[in-house]
Amino acid sequence: MRAFHFKRWFARPAACGSPADLPPVVAPTLPAPHTPRRVAAHPVVQVSVIQTAVDLIIRVKGEARVECAGALLDGLLVPAARRPAVVILDLSELRSISSLAMGVLVTYRRGVVRAGGRVRLAGGLQPAVHEALARAELLDLFETTDDVRPTAALQAIA
C-alpha cells in the first residue's frame, strides 16, 4: 500500500519526458584558484637587544606584519626576564606595524611596568609607523625620548 502512495507522489507526468530528452546542463568554468602568498623563509622583523649601564635598548627593524608577531614576541620576551628598570624601544627602522604587533608592544610594556620598570619610545619613527601608533592612540602610552644615539654597540648590530 505504501508503494501505491509513493507512485502517486513521485510519478512523472507524460509531458516531462525522459532524462535523455532534456538538454544537457553546462556548468560555467571557474577561475583558477589564487596561489597563496609566499611566506618569507626568514622573519621580516628583526629584534636586537643592547644592555647599557643605565638601560636596555631594544631595536626593531623591518616590517612587523601579522605573521611576524610571534618573532617580535620572542625577541621581546628574552630581555624581559632581566627585569630592566628602563627599556627604550627603538622603532626608527621599522617600516610598518600591524595591529597585532602593536598589541605585542602594549603587552610587553604592561609586563615591564608591572615589574616596576618604564618603557620609553625612541624618537624618529617612520611616518607609517607613527601614523599607525597615533591612530591606535598608543603614542601617549609610551614615554618618548630622543637621547638614543647610535653608539658603537648599536652600529655593530646594524
Q: Contact, 135 vs 99, CB < 8 A?
A: no
Q: pLDDT at position 1, please?
A: 54
d(CA 135, CA 54): 32
Task: With a cut of 60, say whether residue 52 has pLDDT above it.
Answer: yes
pLDDT 10s digits, 4-22: 556 665 665 555 556 666 6
Distance CA 84, CA 113 (A): 10
State residue 155's pLDDT score.
43
pTM, to two decimals: 0.66
Q: Which segment of 52-66, 95-109, 134-148 scores lowest on mean pLDDT?
A: 134-148
Q: Residue 115: pLDDT above 70?
A: yes
* pLDDT above 70 for 37: no
Q: Which residues pair with 89 in a beta bridge?
A: 58, 121
Domains in the chain, please, with CATH? 45-153 (3.30.750.24)
User: What rounded mean pLDDT belongs to the chain?
Assistant: 80
Question: Residue 55 contacts by C-beta under 8 Å, 6 or more apart in sequence?
Answer: 84, 85, 86, 87, 88
Q: What is the mean pLDDT of residues 60-74?
A: 91
Question: Residue 109 to residues 92, 93, 98: CA-CA distances in angstroms?
Answer: 18, 19, 17
